[in-house]
């Protein structure tokens, strides 16, 4: 049971009010839901994007240590089992994947020599491995290790292993085989362009250590739960004070070149105020900062602020299923658009996100290579336009100050998650803003468990304030393809546009970035016009990094899904301590 | 007495059943079929969610899950964490020493300070000293622990460090690198133990004061004084022994507090104790871990009460006698 389970871990933090807030803040003010998954939440925390670096360059000083805060203890060191953010970092420091990515989501080779050679039909991906990668016990990292690692995901013999994404593997992956010790071929059952982006980044495990374990013991092995004895990454596991800190030492044989640091520490600190205090006192060197505390670090003589957008878009999802009552309002595009014009998103960003977010202009996150910065139409805060659109759609202002049409009032429920401060406030702000145009949106806050059930099963909602989480690949079919509106799928809006379906299918079946980008631009324009989920804002992640630490190049997609931080070996501390 | 203890032990069984059933149901009501949000992950397919739940045994009827768990408990098996399948008893034992270290120290400090403070306040009743002690104890009771903890950190860690003074580490039980020796542990213990013991001192010193006042007004104290016994002997030998009986109850009742009372302090100071374990796992809906800790805490409460009752007997012959007669 692993990773998957840590799922809860993430969303967790929501019970007690203040700490709940912490969580959210740490997530960059955002948090929410689709992200609120096991996996999701934690991704948010760290994943942000784009630029943001601590200061770089200079002449590296050898020695010393860096301490980074994490919200919870490590649950697992096995890259195939981790879902929570903390475990992802830990696994990423210890195990190098085939491919890894840099802050903006672009992939670069890990233990592979280069990006894979992909056949034109997208049915085979061939990886040539570097020959200079060694396990810390001296054995070479070979194709056998890669094959073993991926077998955990698709081989029926390993079904007991709690690898969370087996569904994808079984659907797309026929087999992974070693052609020679340094060549691995992935045979696909059907073409799926995002496969390598989504699944090429699991840290490769040592076959000679874990290969002989019975499948169910992979989940609970000491290697997994108490720290690995063999690594290929930039650091070796060295000490674990449970619930307190995990200490790593330099891996002298790391293939990218050994780290300047003697040691790296992940310190478990659940409270965001305590995190900020320790950053201030210098007890820790790097930490995510709660948006509400960011101002107190401005002009700090010891801490650099680093921020980057998260791959996370907050939206208002509309009910569009004709069999549900909410669709009588939202089946009409004019209403969907009017309600976006009526919301003052900048005001929400200022008051709810302490300025640490930006207005979303597309459903794709700005960090994506396929992000369309000029998706049309653009929506500004324009109450008059909202009024005009509603008037034009036949929703006339009634005597009671509520718009109505054919005797039906424009009155619905706005659902969101209870326990997340920023969400609870947001729905009230939206309620107030819509009231000004004669629309009654009654907030309805429900538990995360209920939201899960609504999204995947009942679909009983009118409008939902929720966050959509994105991976590096811009594929959007999980949210917007009409096939994803089946039970269990994430198109709970019941959005259906045959043109969008066709473009999504087309974009998922080719690998050329330029072509894909063009297709996703079209898709974003259509979604921006159809507006099944008006994009509201993109929260930022803000980190504080002590000025003595150099080259700490954290970005949106670092540590997302087990990625090693390829820049970690370059990090050094100016005082050598 | 033995019979009495035995009866009390047997009486705990329904208590444990009750507590575990309530915890179990509450966890299920809030979390649904565990891992709320799991089905929201856009990158998990519905079959993945179903498989993961099945692996956790969550696809079985509720009563089966509970019965299996309670069967395990009755055989000393606390089950495995939903999070990562690590044994729950291991989690508890990992954290228990830290909690005992913190709460135990805080309690000892609390007892050591509250008795002399309470006695002094009682003897100097109505004086400025009494008022001052009252003020401090009301403050200790009224100031939220997390606030006090943060203020201490701001002063003794952040500011002291900025001023170049020796400073106290603000989290953990030991330093990450180096450290780990007794001095290192003590330095880490100072702030959290101070915050925690402050509360104990403020509550207990009030009790000692009032029960001391009561005892000092008793006839036998007047008799002792009348026969010319030294005042210190009257107060510390005759009166105090009776005055601390209520304190024993309080301390006994506080034993479960070893786990729960440290929660806030453990969170703010990043102290890896049982309270934080319970808190974190509850937030993660890791119900096997939560139930394990709750059951463990229940056992502690019962043991604490039992110990307090037995201590009564030791301190007060009258109670000892009534126990025998039962």
Residues of B in contact with A34 (CB under 8 A): 40-42
With bands split at pLDDT 50, 70 and 90, how would you rate the model's confidence at B247?
Answer: confident
pLDDT of residue A370: 93
With bands split at pLDDT 50, 70 and 90, how would you rate the model's confidence at A506?
Answer: very high
By the CB < 8 Å criterion, does B45 face chain A?
A: yes
Could you give the 3-state DSSP secondary structure of residue A317? strand
Dihedrals φ, ψ of A298, to 5°?
Answer: -65, 135
pLDDT of residue B325: 56
pLDDT of residue A327: 95
By the CB < 8 Å criterion, does A477 face chain B?
A: no
Whether the bond between A377 and the residue before it is cis, its omega within 30 degrees of 0, is yes
Separation of alpha carbons B259 and B278, rounded Å: 9
Give the CA dihedral A396, A397, A398, A399, nearest 10 degrees.
-150
Q: Kindly state the average pLDDT of the residues A259-281.
A: 91
Which residue in chain A is spatially nearest to B91 when comparing CA positions?
Answer: A242
Q: Kindly state the average pLDDT of the residues A398-412.
A: 94
Place of tokens 């000092």: B216
Q: Indicate the residue of B35, B81, B171 with minimum beta-carbon distance to A38.
A: B35
Of the listed ranges A18-27, A365-374, B134-143, B154-163, the least confidently predicted one is: A18-27
User: In the 3-class helix/strand/coil scheme, how is A201-250 assigned residue by residue?
Assistant: CCECCCHHHHCCCCHHHHHHCHHHHCCCCCCCCCEEEEEEECCCEEEEEE
What is the nearest CA distance from A438 to chain B, expressed in angstroms? 33
In this structure, what DSSP letter does residue A141 have?
P
With bands split at pLDDT 50, 70 and 90, how would you rate the model's confidence at B41?
Answer: confident
Could you give the 3-state DSSP secondary structure of residue A315? strand
Residues of A in contact with B272 (CB under 8 A): 73, 241-244, 268
What is the nearest CA distance from B51 to chain A, expressed in angstroms? 9
Please report which helix (H) or strand (E) contains residue A445, including its range. Answer: strand A440-446
Q: Name the token pair of B223.
A: 């008799």
Separation of alpha carbons B2 and A567, rounded Å: 67
What is the nearest CA distance from A15 to chain B, expressed in angstroms? 6
DSSP codes of every residue in A81-107: T--SHHHHHHHHHH--BSEEE-TTS-E
Reported ipTM: the value is 0.83
Of the listed ranges A128-132, A434-438, B164-168, B287-291, the least confidently predicted one is: B287-291
Q: Indicate the residue of A244, A469, A488 with minimum beta-carbon distance to B270.
A: A244
pLDDT of residue A66: 96
Per-residue pLDDT for A48 more than 80?
no
By the CB < 8 Å criterion, does B323 face chain A?
A: no
pLDDT of residue A428: 96
Per-residue pLDDT for A516 more than 90?
yes
Per-residue pLDDT for A46 more than 90?
no
For an interface test with A, give the residue of B29, B39, B42 to mutate (most A CBs within 10 A). B42
Reference A5, options B48, B35, B292; nearest CA is: B35
By the CB < 8 Å criterion, does A359 face chain B?
A: no
Q: Kindly state the average pLDDT of the residues B253-257.
A: 71
Verify whether the Cβ–Cβ distance B171 to A4 is below 8 Å. no
By the CB < 8 Å criterion, does B82 face chain A?
A: yes
CB contacts < 8 A, A to B, total 261
Q: Name the token pair of A54.
A: 């601590």
Reference A5, options A66, A61, A84; nearest CA is: A84
Average pLDDT in chain B: 85
Separation of alpha carbons A79 and A228, rounded Å: 11
Summarize pLDDT for A108-161 with one digit per residue, the tens.
Answer: 899 999 999 999 899 999 999 999 999 999 999 999 999 999 999 999 999 989
With bands split at pLDDT 50, 70 and 90, how would you rate the model's confidence at A246?
Answer: very high
Distances (CA, A) of A297 to A154, A286, A301: 47, 13, 9
What is the nearest CA distance from B24 to chain A, expressed in angstroms? 16
What is the nearest CA distance from A160 to chain B, expressed in angstroms? 7
By the CB < 8 Å criterion, does A147 face chain B?
A: no
Residues of A in contact with B35 (CB under 8 A): 4-5, 7-8, 38
In this structure, what DSSP letter does residue A116 have?
P
Give Cβ neighbours of residue A273 (< 8 Å, ≥ 6 apart): A22, A290, A293, B150, B268
By the CB < 8 Å criterion, does A168 face chain B?
A: yes
pLDDT of residue B35: 63
Per-residue pLDDT for A556 more than 90?
no
Among A residues 177-216, those touching chain B with beta carbons less than 8 Å apart:
198
Separation of alpha carbons B77 and B164, rounded Å: 51
Q: Is residue A316 a contact partner of residue A360, using CB atoms and an 8 Å limit?
A: no
pLDDT of residue A99: 92
Separation of alpha carbons B296 and B277, rounded Å: 12
Q: Indicate the residue of B84, B150, B171 with minimum beta-carbon distance to A1.
A: B84
Verify whether the Cβ–Cβ distance A450 to B283 is below 8 Å. no
By the CB < 8 Å criterion, does A416 face chain B?
A: no
Q: Name the token pair of A547.
A: 């000025």
Indicate the fold that domain A3-17+312-472+534-539 takes in CATH: Dipeptide-binding Protein; domain 3 (3.10.105)
Select the highest-mean-pLDDT range: A104-118, A394-408, A443-457.
A394-408
Of the listed ranges A168-172, B41-45, B112-116, B145-149, the least confidently predicted one is: B41-45
Q: Is residue A335 a contact partner of residue A393, using CB atoms and an 8 Å limit?
A: yes
Q: Is residue A326 a contact partner of residue A412, using CB atoms and an 8 Å limit?
A: yes
For an interface test with A, give the residue of B44, B47, B55 to mutate (most A CBs within 10 A). B44
pLDDT of residue A32: 30
Per-residue pLDDT for A337 more than 50?
yes
pLDDT of residue B33: 58
Verify whether the Cβ–Cβ distance A452 to B98 is below 8 Å. no
Q: Where are the domains of chain A?
A: 3-17+312-472+534-539, 87-221
Q: Is residue A542 a contact partner of residue A293, using CB atoms and an 8 Å limit?
A: no
pLDDT of residue B37: 62
By the CB < 8 Å criterion, does B213 face chain A?
A: no
Q: Is residue A46 a contact partner of residue A287, using CB atoms and an 8 Å limit?
A: no
Separation of alpha carbons A73 and B171, rounded Å: 14
In this structure, what DSSP letter does residue A112 have?
B
Q: CB-based burial of residue A509 (10 Å sphere; 0-12 exposed, 13-18 middle, 19+ buried)?
A: middle
Summarize pLDDT for A14-42 with one digit per residue, the tens.
Answer: 222 223 323 333 333 223 333 333 233 33
Q: Kindly state the average pLDDT of the residues A217-244.
A: 93
By the CB < 8 Å criterion, does B171 face chain A?
A: yes
With bands split at pLDDT 50, 70 and 90, how would you rate the model's confidence at A51?
Answer: very low
Verify whether the Cβ–Cβ distance B35 to A4 is below 8 Å. yes
CA gyration radius, chain A: 24
Residues of B in contact with A448 (CB under 8 A): 36-37, 40
Alpha helices (H) in chain B, listed in sequence order: 2-31, 46-55, 62-74, 88-123, 128-142, 145-152, 160-162, 182-216, 219-226, 231-233, 240-243, 245-254, 257-260, 263-268, 274-283, 287-315, 317-325
Give the CA dihedral A214, A220, A221, A222, nearest 10 degrees.
-170
Q: Is residue A315 a contact partner of residue A555, using CB atoms and an 8 Å limit?
A: no
pLDDT of residue B34: 60
Q: Name the token pair of B170.
A: 């603000």
By the CB < 8 Å criterion, does B157 face chain A?
A: yes
Per-residue pLDDT for B321 more than 80?
no
Q: Kindly state the average pLDDT of the residues A278-303.
A: 91
pLDDT of residue A309: 85
For an interface test with A, give the residue of B46, B79, B87, B284 to mutate (most A CBs within 10 A). B284
Bigger pLDDT: A558 or B66? B66
Architecture of domain A87-221 in this structure:
Alpha-Beta Complex (3.90)
Select the highest-mean-pLDDT range: A27-31, A525-529, B58-62.
A525-529
By the CB < 8 Å criterion, does A418 face chain B?
A: no
Q: Indicate the residue of A18, A282, A448 with minimum beta-carbon distance to B37.
A: A448
Which residue in chain B is spatially nearest to A84 when comparing CA positions?
Answer: B83
CA gyration radius, chain B: 24
pLDDT of residue A448: 79
Q: Kindly state the average pLDDT of the residues A66-74.
A: 91
Q: CB-based burial of residue B318 (10 Å sphere; 0-12 exposed, 13-18 middle, 19+ buried)?
A: exposed
By the CB < 8 Å criterion, does A5 face chain B?
A: yes
Among A residues 14-33, those touching chain B with beta carbons less than 8 Å apart:
14-16, 18-19, 33
Bigger pLDDT: A87 or A413? A413
Per-residue pLDDT for A403 more than 90?
yes
By the CB < 8 Å criterion, does B85 face chain A?
A: yes
Residues of A in contact with B46 (CB under 8 A): 167, 456, 487-489
Of all residues in chain A, what percent carry a pLDDT higher than 90?
66
pLDDT of residue B320: 67
Q: CB-based burial of residue A563 (10 Å sphere; 0-12 exposed, 13-18 middle, 19+ buried)?
A: buried
Give Cβ neighbours of residue A77 (< 8 Å, ≥ 6 apart): A87, A90, A91, A94, A223, A224, A225, A227, A228, A237
Bigger pLDDT: A429 or B79? A429
- CA A410 from chain center: how many Å? 35
Q: Where are the beta strands (DSSP E) in A243-337?
A: 245-250, 263-268, 286-288, 303-309, 312-318
Residues of B in contact with A277 (CB under 8 A): 150, 153-154, 157-158, 170
pLDDT of residue A375: 93
What is the nearest CA distance from B181 to chain A, expressed in angstroms? 14
Q: Kindly state the average pLDDT of the residues B107-135.
A: 92
pLDDT of residue A39: 30
With bands split at pLDDT 50, 70 and 90, how would you rate the model's confidence at A391?
Answer: very high
Separation of alpha carbons A74 and A88, rounded Å: 9
Which residue in chain B is spatially nearest to A491 when comparing CA positions?
Answer: B42
Verify whether the Cβ–Cβ distance B48 to A3 is below 8 Å. no
Q: Kindly state the average pLDDT of the residues B125-132.
A: 92
Largest CA distance in chain A: 81
Give Cβ neighbours of residue A415 (< 8 Å, ≥ 6 apart): A444, A445, A446, A451, A454, A461, A462, A463, A464, A465
By the CB < 8 Å criterion, does B68 face chain A?
A: no
Q: Rounded to the nearest 5 degrees, what angle is found at the Cα of B88, between the Cα atoms of B87 and B90?
A: 70
What is the nearest CA distance from B62 to chain A, expressed in angstroms? 17
Q: Kindly state the average pLDDT of the residues B197-224.
A: 90
Separation of alpha carbons A204 and A97, rounded Å: 5
Average pLDDT in chain A: 86
Please report which helix (H) or strand (E) contains residue A125, including its range. Answer: strand A124-128
Of the listed ranges A184-193, A259-268, A554-563, B7-16, the least confidently predicted one is: A554-563
Q: Indicate the residue of A4, A81, A449 with minimum beta-carbon distance to B31.
A: A449
Largest CA distance in chain B: 87
Separation of alpha carbons A158 and A80, rounded Å: 12
For an interface test with B, give the residue of A38, A166, A171, A476 to mutate (most B CBs within 10 A). A38
Q: Name the token pair of B190.
A: 């100072």
pLDDT of residue A18: 27
Bigger pLDDT: B272 or B255? B272
For an interface test with B, give the residue of A242, A293, A544 to mutate (most B CBs within 10 A). A242
Residues of B in contact with A224 (CB under 8 A): 84
Per-residue pLDDT for A210 more than 80?
yes
With bands split at pLDDT 50, 70 and 90, how would you rate the model's confidence at A461?
Answer: very high
pLDDT of residue B252: 73
Separation of alpha carbons B44 and A409, rounded Å: 38
Verify whether the Cβ–Cβ distance B44 to A39 is below 8 Å. yes
């Amino acid at each position: 049971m692993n990773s998957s389970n840590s799922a809860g871990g993430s969303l967790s933090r929501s019970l007690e009010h203040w700490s709940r807030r912490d969580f959210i803040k740490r997530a960059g003010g955002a948090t929410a839901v689709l992200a609120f998954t096991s996996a999701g939440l934690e991704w948010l925390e760290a994943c942000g994007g784009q630029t943001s670096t601590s200061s770089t360059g200079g002449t590296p000083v050898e020695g010393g240590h860096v301490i980074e805060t994490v919200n919870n203890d490590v649950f697992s060191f096995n890259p195939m089992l981790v879902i929570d953010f903390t475990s992802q970092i830990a696994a990423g420091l210890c195990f190098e994947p085939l491919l890894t990515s840099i802050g903006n989501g672009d992939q670069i080779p890990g233990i592979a020599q280069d990006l894979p050679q992909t056949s034109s039909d997208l049915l085979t991906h061939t990886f040539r491995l570097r020959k200079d990668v060694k396990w810390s016990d001296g054995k070479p990292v070979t194709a056998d290790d890669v094959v073993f690692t991926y077998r955990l995901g698709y081989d029926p013999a390993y079904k007991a292993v709690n690898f969370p994404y087996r569904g994808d593997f079984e659907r797309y992956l026929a087999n992974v085989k070693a052609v020679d010790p340094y060549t691995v071929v992935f045979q696909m059952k059907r073409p799926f362009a995002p496969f390598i982006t989504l699944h090429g980044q699991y840290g490769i495990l040592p076959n000679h250590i874990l290969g002989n374990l019975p499948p169910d013991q992979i989940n609970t092995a000491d290697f997994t739960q108490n720290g690995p004895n063999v690594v290929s990454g930039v650091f070796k596991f060295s000490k674990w004070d449970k619930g307190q800190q995990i200490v790593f030492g330099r891996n002298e044989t790391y293939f990218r070149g050994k780290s300047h640091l003697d040691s790296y520490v992940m310190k478990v600190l659940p409270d965001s105020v305590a995190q900020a205090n320790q950053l201030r006192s210098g007890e820790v060197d790097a930490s995510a900062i709660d948006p509400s505390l960011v101002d107190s670090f401005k002009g700090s003589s010891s801490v650099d602020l680093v921020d980057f957008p998260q791959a996370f878009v907050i939206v208002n999802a509309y009910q569009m299923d004709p069999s549900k009552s909410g669709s009588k309002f939202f089946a009409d595009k004019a209403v969907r658009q009017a309600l976006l014009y009526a919301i003052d998103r900048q005001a929400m960003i200022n008051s709810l996100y302490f300025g640490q977010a930006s207005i979303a202009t597309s459903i794709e996150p700005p960090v994506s290579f396929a992000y369309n910065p000029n998706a049309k139409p653009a929506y500004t805060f324009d109450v008059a336009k909202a009024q005009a659109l509603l008037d034009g759609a036949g929703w006339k202002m009634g005597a009671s100050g509520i718009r109505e049409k054919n005797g039906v009032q424009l009155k619905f429920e706005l659902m969101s998650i209870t326990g997340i401060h920023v969400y609870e406030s947001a729905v009230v702000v939206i309620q107030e803003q819509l009231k000004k145009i004669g629309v009654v949106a009654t907030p309805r806050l429900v538990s995360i468990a209920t939201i899960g059930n609504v999204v995947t099963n009942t679909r009983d909602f009118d409008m939902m304030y929720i966050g959509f989480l994105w991976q590096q690949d811009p594929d959007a079919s999980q949210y917007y393809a009409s096939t994803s509106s089946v039970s269990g799928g994430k198109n709970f809006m019941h959005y259906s546009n045959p043109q969008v379906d066709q473009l999504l299918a087309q974009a998922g079946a080719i690998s050329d970035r330029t072509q894909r980008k063009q297709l996703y631009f079209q898709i974003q324009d259509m979604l921006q016009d159809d507006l099944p989920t008006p994009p509201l804002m993109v929260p930022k992640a803000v980190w504080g990094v002590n000025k003595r630490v150099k080259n700490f190049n954290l970005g949106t997609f670092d540590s997302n899904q087990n990625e090693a931080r390829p820049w970690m070996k370059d990090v050094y501390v100016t005082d050598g301590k | 007495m033995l019979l009495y203890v035995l009866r009390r032990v047997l009486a705990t069984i329904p208590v444990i059943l009750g507590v575990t059933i309530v915890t179990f149901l509450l966890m299920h009501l809030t979390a649904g079929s565990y891992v709320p949000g799991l089905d929201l992950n856009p990158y998990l397919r519905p079959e993945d969610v179903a498989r993961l739940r099945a692996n956790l045994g969550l696809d079985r009827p509720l009563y089966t899950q509970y019965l299996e768990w309670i069967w395990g408990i009755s055989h000393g098996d606390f089950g495995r964490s939903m999070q990562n399948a690590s044994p729950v008893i291991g989690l508890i034992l990992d954290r228990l020493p830290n909690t005992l270290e913190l709460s135990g120290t805080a309690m000892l400090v609390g007892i050591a300070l509250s008795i002399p403070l309470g006695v002094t306040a009682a003897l100097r009743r109505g004086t400025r000293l009494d008022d001052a002690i009252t003020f401090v104890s009301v403050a200790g009771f009224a100031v939220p622990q997390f606030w006090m903890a943060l203020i201490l950190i701001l002063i003794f860690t952040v500011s002291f460090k900025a001023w170049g003074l020796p400073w106290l580490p603000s989290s953990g039980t030991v330093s990450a690198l180096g450290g780990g020796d007794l001095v290192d542990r003590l330095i880490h213990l100072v702030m959290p133990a101070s915050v925690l013991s402050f509360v104990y001192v403020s509550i207990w010193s009030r009790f000692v004061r009032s029960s001391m006042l009561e005892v000092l007004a008793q006839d036998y104290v007047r008799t002792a004084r009348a026969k010319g016994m030294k005042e210190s002997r009257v107060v510390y030998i005759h009166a105090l022994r009776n005055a601390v009986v209520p304190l024993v109850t309080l301390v006994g009742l506080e034993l479960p507090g070893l786990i729960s009372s440290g929660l806030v302090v453990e969170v703010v100071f990043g102290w890896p104790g049982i309270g934080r374990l319970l808190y974190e796992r509850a937030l993660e809906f890791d119900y096997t871990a939560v139930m394990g800790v709750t059951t463990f805490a229940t056992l502690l409460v019962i043991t604490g009460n039992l110990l307090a009752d037995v201590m009564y007997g030791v301190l007060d012959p009258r109670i000892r006698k009534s126990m025998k007669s039962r």
